[in-house]
Structure 1
């Protein structure tokens, strides 16, 4: 038997090791799919933490595409 942990086990341990961490902190944030040699990475709709401006940031309220900023 090996003591080597899988990537997911190590990720879970790392994300839940802080004193106030919860299981939700280790929830998946991205979906990765492979189609015809192309890898697609999508932020999950139910991800608690998402890239971009957060709540309370005026930029989050703007409806302007990044290409126009």
Structure 2
């Protein structure tokens, strides 16, 4: 069921299609912006989520950002 602020056509889209649509909607967006950034797999009933090796954005501090680990090394 759609709420008044939702487009009824959105109900027909899969979550992956909605994700792609949202990530490529910006004026300078490219197909690479919608590329998967995680890999999900299941092993013995456990779900494992890994960052894709070719993901352009990775978790953690960016280049040049000092962390507590760097302070301990000195």
Between the two proteins, the alignment pairs up a number of residues equal to: 59
Q: Please give the alpha-carbon distance, in whole angstroms, between the structure 1 residues aligned to 2:43 and 2:66.
A: 37
1:28 equivalent in alignment to 2:36: yes
How large is the Cα RMSD of the aligned pairs?
1.5
Matched, 1:41 2:38: no
Structure 2 residue ranges without an equivalent (≥5): 1-8
Counterparts of residues 51-62 of structure 1 (less than 5 Å): 51-59=59-67, 62=70
* Ranges of 4+ aligned residues in structure 1 off by more than 6 Å: none
Structure whose CA Rg is larger: 2
TM-score under structure 1 length normalisation: 0.75
Structure 1 unaligned residues grouped into runs of 5+: 65-69
Listed one character per residue, the Cα deviations across residues 23-50 of structure 1 (whole Å, up to 9, x for unaligned) are 1100000000011110000001100111
